[in-house]
Structure 1
Amino acid sequence: MAKFVFVTGGVVSSIGKGIVAASLGRLLKSRDYSVSILKLDPYINVDPGTMSPFQHGEVFVTADGAETDLDLGHYERFTDTLMSRLNSVTTGSIYQAVLNKERRGDYMGGTVQVIPHITNEIKERIHRVAKNTNPDVVITEIGGTVGDIESLPFLEAIRQFRKDVGRNNVLYMHVTLLPWIPSAGEMKTKPTQHSVKELRSIGIQPDILVCRCDRPLQPGIKEKLSEFCDVPVESVITSPDANSIYEVPLILEQEGLANQSLDLLQLPQREPDLSQWQTLVERMHRPIHQVEIAIVGKYIRLSDAYLSVVEGLRHAAIALGSEFNIRWVSSEDIETEGAEKFLAGANAIIVPGGFGIRGVDGKVAAIEYARTQKIPFLGLCLGMQCSVIEWAQNIALLEDAHSAEFVPNARNPVINLLPEQQDVVDLGGTMRLGMCPCRILPNTLAASLYEEEVIYERHRHRYEFNNAYRNLLLDTGYMISGTSPDGRLVEIIEYPDHPFFLATQFHPEFSSRPSTPHPLFKGFVQAAIEQCQSEDAISPTNASIIQQSPVQVS
């Protein structure tokens, strides 16, 4: 039978519950325990697929095509374990399921209530993960903070869980904030005390406290929290701010989080093997190269909107012994002031995915700049579609070439819907989502990077390359280096007469891992390093590197 860990948060949101859950998963895996992690999100949306990136950050897509919270990306990257649609649960999906059952008559005419119907559905979702993936430990993160009215059904469900499966099979972990008050010169425990009091008022006594702070704890803080929160002092875990999220598992290992969790769950203690993770962190602190990469998007006010892209770059940079500075560039600014002003001097350019026409012409201009200036370029999803538009406009000279998504009456819609999608009205869950195969053309850049004939990548898009223009674009020098196995769908395009110019209809960033960087990102960062070295752009006196600020993630 699986053991269950429930991670709650208190005092403030964005405190790092997802990173704590993912780190615990990493520590348990290092001890040869299998884990699965799921997120219970209290918002009423069925999933985050139709939510603005400014509201929710990036939408992470699982291999089976679920649009999920970005924390599932952390779960996958830290544990190197595939998540699925089972690992993402929202209030909207719970109520939708319960109402569907009520309409079918499953409740035999009974009154449908939060308790037991909603809470039973929540518990069933947790059990479903344990049944379908058969892990040793199921870690469940509850979104929001204790005291939120939206979270109450989830908290009630996990309260009942210990009674259902047995006291020694459940562990409650509470992540909370210890703020430093400069005027008092003290770290205050009162917010944590109140948060635990709120949790206990609904029947949950935390077994472990994970205390987020921006500095080492002052003497006596752990003892005080132990006394007031009724938690053994060895179960009060310090989680200070770190320069990188990848340092967090090592910090929590030193604090004894995994050992305490195993003891409380009555699982055997095993010797951890964190050598690979330790090496990864050490490489981060000893870079050989320094490069600057421009990310051209329209959600740059919230960097979490491109979280997996940044992490994909980081994984590649670590593997190549490089440190990178991200130059965030608004595609709307390029539209008004030109590409050169914002992109000159960058060692490489990425145009990531997105939706809606705002800023698209700026992305097209950025791609033209990368192509004509021979700057390494990587396009992702919409980035590929914009590169097709750019080529059609500037090389193929197709008048009014654009995407039908943005210009429905375009004379030359080089990006268009597939015939079977023409009548789709709903936005949520109607795209090409999840893992799909792609056949790689030999003797191409893509083939040299993947070193495989058929690869599998994750998609999240609705519009496709318009095959009516395929031959015309090929005749002008473009190369289609990856297609669906039947050759119908264009997946990868590249421009051979360029140091590195490649764009994909899929999202390779979702498959990158700290220990196994994605080959496209690795090739792209390598091209950026070579570009930097060829221009002699980086020196000890003119290096432009952003010092990483302490990580704060939700």
Structure 2
Amino acid sequence: MSKFIFVTGGVVSSLGKGIAVASIGRMLKSRGMSVSVLKLDPYLNVDPGTMSPYQHGEVFVTVDGSETDLDLGHYERFIDVELTELSNVTAGQIYSEVIANERAGQYLGGTIQTVPHVTNLIKERVLKLAEVSQADVVVVEVGGTVGDIEGQPFIEAIRQVRNTVGQQDTFYVHVTLLPYLGATGELKTKPTQHSVNTLRGMGVQPDAILCRADQETGEDERRKIALYCDVNAEAVISLPTLSSVYEVPLHLEAEGLGSILTNGLDLPDTKPDLESWRAIVRVDEEEHEQIDIALVGKYVELQDSYLSVVEALHHAGLHNDRKVNIQWVAAEDIEEHGAEKLLGSARGIIVPGGFGERGLEGMIAAANYARHSNIPYLGLCLGMQIMVVEYARNELGIADATSLEIDPEAANPVIAFMEGQEELHSTGGTMRLGVYPCFLKEGTKVRAAYEQETVDERHRHRYEFNNEYRVPLEEAGLIASGTSPDGSLVEVTEVYGHPFMVGSQFHPEFGSRPERPHPLFREFIRVAKTTLREGGQHDFFEEE
């Protein structure tokens, strides 16, 4: 039987519950335990796949093709696991299933209620993950904050889990904010007291409290929280803002949370092995030469829209002894001001995924600038398609080359619908999603980066490279360096003779780990750091 750790949040959102959950998972794994993770999202969307990045940030895609919350990316990177659709449950999924069951007569004419029908389904999803994963510990994050109307069924469900599996097999962690008042120079505990009081009023008594603040929580504040919230003093944990999220597992371990969790769950408190993680943090803390990488995107105002890309660049920078400084460039600004003005100091350019036609001409201009200036370029999903459009226009002379996403009536759609999906009108779950194999062509930069013939990568897209243009593009120097095993789909392209101009139809950022940077990001930064900028151009040299 799995043990369960439930993590709730109080006072305000965006406190870092996801990082706390990921860190807890890392701490447990370092003790030799198997860990699985579940995110409970109270919003009514079925999944975040149709939500605007400005609303929700990045959509993280699991290996089985589930569109999930971005916190699953944190879980995977910290714990080094591959999660599935079972690891993200939304209120939309639960209510949809309840209504479908009711329409099918499964409730035998009974009145459908939040308790027990909704809460039972939530519990079933929690217990199903434990059953399927066979994990020693399942860590469950409840999205939102305590007191949110939409979150109440989820709090009730996790309360009931303790009655189902037993008190010794459940542990409740509450992450809460301690605001700092500059006028009095003190951290205030009253909001935390109110938050815990609300949680207790719903039947859940926290076993540990993580106190988020920009500074350390003092002993006086800890004792006060312990007294008024009925928590052991050693289980009131200070969690200040740290210089890197990767420090959090080490900090929580030093605060004693690992032993508190194992003792509370009657698990063996073996000595944690966090040496490899400490090595990452040490490298992260070292002084490194800065390298400027321009990220040209549609949603740069909300940087969480590209969270996995940011982290993958960070991982690649650590591996290459560089501190990656991301220059956030709105694609529409390039349309207005020109690529050279906005990208002139960049040592590398990355164009990530996105949907819709806004800003695409700016991205095309960025790809053209990178190609002619010999600046390393990495295109992800949409960024690969942009690369193809730019090359077709400027090397094949097809002035109206475009994507059907930009112009559904295009005469020369070098990017078109996937075969069989031309008539699809639904926007949810109709893309190529999840892991697909890719064969890498020998002698290409991509094959050299991966150092293997076949790879499996995650996809999230609706449009594909149009094979009608494949031969002329290859003859002009745009190589299909990665394809589906049968050769029917182009998965990776690269420009022949360019230092590094690569586009992948898949999303390599989802597979990057702090200890194992993704090969494409690693090679992108390696080439970018070997550039000397002179007169607006890039000259390349090999480092010793």
What's the TM-score, normalizing by structure 1? 0.96
| 1:136-190 CA distance string (max 9 Å, x none) | 0000000000000000000010111111110111101000011110011111000
Aligned residues: 538
Counterparts of 1:536 and 1:400, CA distance in 2: 29
Q: Which residue of 1 aligns with 2:406?
A: 406
Structure 2 residue aligned with 1:357: 357
Q: CA deviation at 1:82?
A: 0.7
1:227 maps to: 227
Q: Which 5+ residue runs of structure 1 have no aligned equivalent? A: 539-554
SS of 1:323 mapped into structure 2: strand
Partner of 2:313: 313
Look up the match of 1:16.
16
Name the SS of the counterpart of 2:33 in structure 1.
coil
The question of whether the paired residues in 1 share the 8 Å contact of 2:217 and 2:239 is answered with: no
| 1:258-407 matched pairs, under 5 angstroms | 258-407=258-407
Summarize deviations over 1:474-532 as a string: whole Å, max 9, x none: 12111110000010000000012111110000000000001011000000010111014
The Cα shift of 1:195 comes to 0.3
Counterparts of residues 74-473 of structure 1 (less than 5 Å) = 74-473=74-473
Mapped partners of 2:219, 2:235: distance in 1: 16
* Paired residue type of 1:265: L
State the shift of 1:533 in Å.
8.0
**Percent identity (aligned):** 55
Distance 2:110 2:314 in 1: 54
Q: Specify whether residues 192 and 186 from structure 1 end up closer, same or farther in structure 2 by C-alpha distance, changes over 3 A only.
A: same
Contact 2:119 2:154 in 1 (8 A): yes
Tell me if structure 2 keeps the 8 A contact 1:376–1:531: no
Query: How much has 1:419 moved relative to structure 2?
Result: 2.9
Q: Determine helix, strand or coil for the equivalent of 1:117.
A: helix
Task: Please give the secondary structure, in 2, of the residue aligned with 1:520.
Answer: helix
Q: CA RMSD in A?
A: 1.3
Q: Distance in 2 between matches of 1:240 and 1:190?
A: 18
1:69–1:535 CA distance, 2 compared to 1 (3 A) = farther
- CA shift, 1:425, in A, is 1.0
Q: Which amino acid in the other structure matches residue 353 of structure 1?
A: G
Q: Is the 8 A contact 1:291 1:532 kept in 2?
A: no
Quote the Cα distance in structure 1 between the aligned partners of 2:66 and 2:286: 37
- Alpha-carbon distance between aligned partners in 2 of 1:223 and 1:64, rounded to the nearest angstrom: 46
Q: Show CA shifts across 1:263-307 (max 9, x none).
A: 111111100000000010000111443210000001000000000
Structure 1 stretches of 4+ with a deviation exceeding 6 A read: 533-538
The whole-number CA distance in structure 2 between the counterparts of 1:459 and 1:440 is 16
Q: Distance in 2 between matches of 1:446 and 1:534?
A: 27
Is the 8 Å Cα contact of residues 399 and 411 (structure 1) preserved in structure 2?
Answer: no
Secondary structure of the 2:98 match is helix
Distance across 1 between alignment mates of 2:342 and 2:535: 18
In structure 2, give the amino acid aligned to 1:306: Y
Partner of 1:500: 500
Aligned to 1:421, what secondary structure does the other structure show? Answer: coil
In structure 2, the residue matched to 1:546 is none
SS at match of 1:493: strand
Distance across 2 between alignment mates of 1:132 and 1:418 = 33
The superposition leaves residues 4-57 of structure 1 with CA deviations (integer Å, 9 ceiling, x where unpaired) of: 010000000001110000000000000001111110001000000000000000
Is the Cα–Cα contact under 8 Å of residues 353 and 382 in structure 2 kept in the other structure? yes
* Residue 524 of structure 1 pairs with residue 527 of structure 2: no
Cα distance, 1:138–1:445 mapped onto 2, change above 3 Å: same
Instruction: Output the CA distance in 1 between the equivalents of 2:255 and 2:285.
Output: 22
**Kept in 2: contact 1:399–1:412 (CA 8 A):** no
After superposition, what is the alpha-carbon deviation per residue over 1:175-231, rounded to whole angstroms, capped at 9, x for unaligned? 001111001111100000000000011111100000001112234111111101000
Amino acid at match of 2:363: K
For residue 535 of structure 1, report the CA deviation from its aligned partner.
9.0
Q: Is 2:344–2:536's contact at 8 Å kept on the other side of the alignment? A: no
DSSP-derived class of the 1:420 partner: coil
Please list every run of 5 or more consecutive structure 2 residues that lacks an aligned counterpart in the other structure.
539-544
> Alpha carbons of 1:536 and 1:319: their partners in 2 closer, same or farther (altered >3 Å)?
farther
CA distance in 2, matches of 1:348, 1:529: 9
The aligned residue for residue 542 of structure 1 is none
